[in-house]
Amino acid sequence: MRQPIRVLHVFGRMNRGGAETFIMNVYRHIDRGKIQFDFAVHSDEPGHYDEEIRSLGGRIFILPRPHLSVLPAYNRALTRLLSKEGSYAVVHSHVHFYSGIPLAIAASAGTPMRIAHSHNTSDGKTTTLPRRLYRRYMRHQMFRYATHMLGCSRAACEGLYGSRCWHDPRVQVVHYGIDLTPFESLSMTPKALRRKLGLPEDGYIVGHVGRFDVQKNHFFLIELFTHLLGCLPTARLVLVGDGPLRPDIERQVRGNGIEDRVFFLGVRADVPEIMGCVDAFLLPSFWEGIPLVLLEAQAAGVPCIVSDVISDESDLRIGLLFPVSLKANHDIWIEYILQAFKISRPPWSVRKEALRRNGYDVQQVAELLSSIYGS
């Protein structure tokens, strides 16, 4: 019997971020008799997806945390892993600019396919001279050693590989894919879903799903919601996720005196149901690639008010996406939110067709990645 193609994915940690959730969506739908995933991570702390990875037949290997001071140790650890296993046809790296290092090591180890994958338009770091030199060097490494350079959007490709990357045939957009089944089966009404999730059944609910870090702009989100309560005192805000800034955001909520209106739900596996019970979705991020949660919100039929830095590639063109400038005052954002509350959810048939037409059905994406790995 022919052995499956083994793919080693390189991540920081397998938590419920957009890139990690995307790869797990693919992992669940790919033919694991033909292609099997393993994961090399940069943290010894357990990830949210670790148990499921092992249940699907994958393995998890721990590498040293990326830093210039540990490059020799990192090189030895990954080289040893590739040498010991000796069966990886593909190393697929998702660690933005740092992908230049694992791809160079994979090339030295003789791994035939080496994939860089961009999931964001920025690394979120201040542009100092050392940072500029780091980016230039890592980009050089990727162009030298990658056999494929993928991105979740055109903007994400240009953010990592440069604005002229389209002259290189190795560069390709691979859209995020979501599992349509949970959204198709959202047969309960929003009120029934709220009851099931322990959320208030009355009033409007604004939702946000995202890691508590600088990129997601939670401080602005809380101030915006505080202003919204001035004209809509019965509104609630649901926040899904975790991260280093969560304690700061909790203090901001208490300082604004709105703790009885804000629900911190933590990391959740039932995002489709949460999307199904909110009336509007807010995403005022400073930068994004293609936000997976934005596709999930539209799949659930929820109107989305987002910062205008987010690529219009994430718009399903079914009247649910409304970009607003981060320079606009709170009143303009609030006007969009109030208008969103009046929008009816498009029928599932319309949402499903739009997701497939735009290439966001995970089955389509799993087939595309299978064809890349198989080549």
What does the pLDDT look like over 112-144, one tens digit per residue? 999 999 999 988 888 999 999 999 999 999 999
Which helix H or strand E contains 266, and what residues bound it?
A: strand 262-266
Which helix H or strand E contains 205, and what residues bound it?
A: strand 205-209
pTM of the model: 0.90
Task: Name the β-bridge partners of 90.
Answer: 7, 113
**Hey, do 5-177+359-374 and 181-357 end up sharing a CATH topology, with the first three levels equal?**
yes
pLDDT in tens, 6-56: 999 999 999 988 899 999 999 999 999 999 999 999 999 999 999 999 999
Q: Which residues, 6+ apart, have CB-to-CB distance to 91 below 8 Å?
A: 7, 8, 10, 82, 102, 103, 106, 111, 113, 114, 115
Alpha carbons 118 and 39: distance in angstroms, whole number: 17
pLDDT confidence band for 217 (50 / 70 / 90): very high
pLDDT in tens, 274-309: 999 999 999 999 999 889 999 999 999 999 999 999
pLDDT confidence band for 1 (50 / 70 / 90): low
Alpha carbons 194 and 129: distance in angstroms, whole number: 50
Break the chain into its structural domains and give their ranges: 5-177+359-374, 181-357
Report the CATH architecture of 5-177+359-374.
3-Layer(aba) Sandwich (3.40)
CB of 56 closer than 8 Å to CB of 27: yes
Q: What is the CATH number of domain 181-357?
A: 3.40.50.2000
CB of 262 closer than 8 Å to CB of 235: no
Q: Which residues, 6+ apart, have CB-to-CB distance to 67 below 8 Å?
A: none
Q: In this predicted structure, what is the pLDDT of residue 36?
A: 96
Site of tokens 């100092």: 128
